[in-house]
Amino acid sequence: MTYLIRRILYAVPILLGVNVITFVLFFVVNSPDNMARMHLGQRYVTEQAIENWKHVHGYDLPRLWNPEAAGTGHVTRTIFYQNSVRLFMLDFGRSDGGRDIGFDIRQRMVPSLSIAVPVLIIELFLSVAFGLAVALLRGSYLDRWITLLCVAGMSISSLFFIIAGQYLVARVWRLAPISGYAGGLESVKFLVLPVFVQVISGLGANVRWNRTVFLEEVSRDYVRTAWAKGLTESGVLSRHILRNALLPLLTTIVVTLPGLFLGSLITESFFAIPGLGSYTIDAIQSQDFAIVRAMVFLGSLLYIVGLMLTDISYAWADPRVRLAET
């Protein structure tokens, strides 16, 4: 318990650092004046219009230190404070376009997760199965070809997987709609193709990684002992190798958690699915900095939570790991 509290406290400076980075990027490199000009159009812009825009969005405050305000107002009545402290309360404020970001995020979470979760599960299952198979056949021609195939798969841009998937499955074979989304059970029809494409595009790297993980375990002494005892193949696989390879596998899963949230960036926007990924892309393309800032914060929060979960799951998977010591 104390460990958890310590970890959470440790996360605070990191999130603060993230905020400093975004702050530097958005307010120091570019003055709010530029942002206003950007949104209002480059030409034919009056000083007054810029001032108005800045005031409406709260960008007319000083950056770090407000000499005019009284007491704690020195620090609180500034852009940095206003923009970063609110985020810690998970209050994302309004976008530069005037919409409530928090509401948008809650609404768009469902489609995003309904792609990310199936992808995670199917990918894990397939890559572990293939990884094990290849590790057992190590040194054979099949192993060599599958490894080469994995490298080739890694070398293909995810854009091509999406384009090819859309073209073949949706256009030529007409098995699924090309893009779009519907609520409720209807959505399954729309989700099949994006999930399939994303699983395929990640398979190469994952199988290769799992192969190295399993190979490391297969050559250990305890596995030889298990074979020598005359255990069945499935027994050695599931009881010995898989359990010992669990730790590195867990790490990869957790590392991909925030990646899934963002890996859907491209997929969602290609398949026109109203999730968080396409939300971010739209924000980037319309240069809505408030949304980008909110998503940066949310992404790093998820990453840190993921790191914490890794440590906890380590302790669960391997009794030798004691949390208090780490």
Partner 1 sequence: MVKPVLLPTDVAFLSSLLLVGLYFWAVRRDLLMRERWRTVLATPTGGAAALILCLYVAVAGLDCLRVEINGETKSLLDYLVSPLREHVETTYSAPFAAYGYAREVIPGASGAARQDYPRLRYGARHLAQPSRQMHADVLRRGMAGAGLGLLFLGGLLALVNRLRGRPLAGMFTPLTESTWRLQWLTAASICLALGWVICLAPYYHVLGTDKVGNDVLYLTLKSIRTGLVLGVVSSFITLPLAVIFGIPAGYFGGWIDDLVQYLYTTFSSVPGVLLIASAALSLDLLLQQHASAFPSLLARADMKLLALCLVLGLTGWTGLCRLLRADVMKLRVAEFVTAARALGTPPLKILLQHLLPNTFHLILITTVLDFSGLVLAEAVLTYVDIGVDPSMESWGNMINGARLELAREPAVWWSLLAAFCGMLGLVLAANLFADAMRDAFDPKLRGATSPSSS
Compare residues 141 and 184 and give the one whose CB is closer to partner 1.
141
Residue of 245, 242, 238, 169 lying closest to 200 (CA atoms): 169
Work out how close the CB of 216 gets to partner 1 at its nearest, in angstroms, rounded to a whole number: 7
Work out how close the CB of 304 gets to partner 1 at its nearest, in angstroms, rounded to a whole number: 6
Compare residues 63 and 74 and give the one whose CB is closer to partner 1.
63
Residue of 155, 149, 161 lying closest to 195 (CA atoms): 161
Work out how close the CB of 183 gets to partner 1 at its nearest, in angstroms, rounded to a whole number: 26
Work out how close the CB of 8 gets to partner 1 at its nearest, in angstroms, rounded to a whole number: 14
Compare residues 11 and 126 and give the one whose CB is closer to partner 1.
11
Compare residues 198 and 300 and give the one whose CB is closer to partner 1.
300
Binding site for partner 1 (CB under 8 A): 13-15, 17-18, 21-22, 25-26, 29-30, 34-35, 38, 42, 138-141, 143-144, 148, 151-152, 154-160, 163, 166-167, 171, 212, 215-216, 219, 258-259, 261-262, 265-266, 280-281, 284-285, 287, 289, 292-293, 295-296, 299-300, 303-304
Work out how close the CB of 266 gets to partner 1 at its nearest, in angstroms, rounded to a whole number: 6
DSSP 168: I
Work out how close the CB of 185 gets to partner 1 at its nearest, in angstroms, rounded to a whole number: 28
Residue of 208, 214, 216 lying closest to 147 (CA atoms): 208
Q: How far is CA 143 from the centre of its chain?
A: 31
Work out how close the CB of 73 gets to partner 1 at its nearest, in angstroms, rounded to a whole number: 28
Compare residues 15 and 136 and give the one whose CB is closer to partner 1.
15
How many residues does this entry show for the chain?
A: 326
Compare residues 125 and 160 and give the one whose CB is closer to partner 1.
160
Residue of 110, 111, 116, 91 lying closest to 102 (CA atoms): 91
For residue 213, CA distances in Å to 207, 236, 309 come to: 10, 16, 21
For residues 178 and 168, give the distance between their C-alpha atoms in angstroms, rounded to a whole number. 10
Alpha helices in 24-100 (DSSP H): 32-40, 47-57, 73-76, 79-88
Q: How far is CA 213 from the centre of its chain?
A: 23
Compare residues 77 and 143 and give the one whose CB is closer to partner 1.
143
Backbone φ and ψ of 147, nearest 5°: -60, -40
